[in-house]
Structure 1
């Protein structure tokens, strides 16, 4: 790695601004595999000493790479090369949990819990779940991680009668609901584009403002009762959602 930051590498005045030269050298090293996902870069102070560049120039070049998602800055760990994220295709025609979907792909799944509580419902939860004024909701909020990469933030609300003990959820929500005889059988999902705000971007380890997908799901039991209201944010660089389309029955088609 040392040859990336020698003073001679930045001696060509015709090569453009120094921070862009630094940006290109690091980006090229990542593309060529000389810097691999998880590799740590020297500190700002050390890079300045190795290159002869000012710390302001170093900071500007590194910040541009962080903004593009090639580097990640973590408190206590410094600046590292961002993990490569494999794009996943998710079928919209199947009602599955994150755990089930990743298990089918042979991927390891973890959850970083943000919230597991029983609470009085907020107005939007009352509307979505069809609750009464005295009902309570089970709230689950977690970062979903696959093979060490954070892929999504899920915030689910369920009637407390279906999930009286949120702490019972360790891995798959749907597995627990199925064991209780109240697994959802259908759902309505709405997907929209989003730019990730700083708190969510930090949880997903992407730059603030990075592209994401916002998904709202309302799931139903076989009886028609609402079972789940989930709001999720997915990394835009990690997911493609696919749906199969079929020709409408002839009786429903119109001739232009």
Structure 2
């Protein structure tokens, strides 16, 4: 798609949001507009992320309302159910305006297109059945993800299950990382915070998990990496644009992960997801 076409789509989505936020509609009109927004949202969010204009926000409920505070909220996820008195439409539209400005004035967007095409071409030469699983200490989640991948016909690659062959850890990691897709399991294995706030320790993933997340982002491209997050833990601030999927008790993550695997053009049996 041309740069002009991308900008037109971003502007059209912005107009849809303004209409949703300000125009009184019948139930049928509201439903049709909501469908339009949902269909356009993935493309717009991807363009905003690629332009580096994505935004997240924190929210704390007023005392009179009560409830839990939330951090790192993606405004695209709460368009229809925003937190109390939060204008998420304005946050999204600000991101869109910023993205349009970047796309109009810089050559970065064209460079990103070229890089993504090269990565896609390169990744398609890899084994489209192999999926690397980066994990911490949560063995139950690791096994659950591995068995799910096997069920739909993919081959999970877990480093400690591969033959050592006299290799160092780094050599073994590099040897087994020639895959089509990587799933990074971010679980609350460690605690930490900045030196300015040592009294409060936040749950976070192990350092090796963050390191390997960065490795696969560089090697495969962010379209071929998905991070599964279990629980309320810190997310790396420098990795905006990465797909994060929350692990829920009802296994809804499986459907969301399947969507990402299909987007990455992996060869698997979608009839066996459920």
The verdict on a shared fold, with TM-score over 0.5 as the criterion, is no
Query: Quick check: which one's helix share is greater?
Result: 2
Query: Quick check: which one's strand share is greater?
Result: 1
Instruction: Identify the TM-score tier after normalising by the shorter chain.
Output: under 0.3
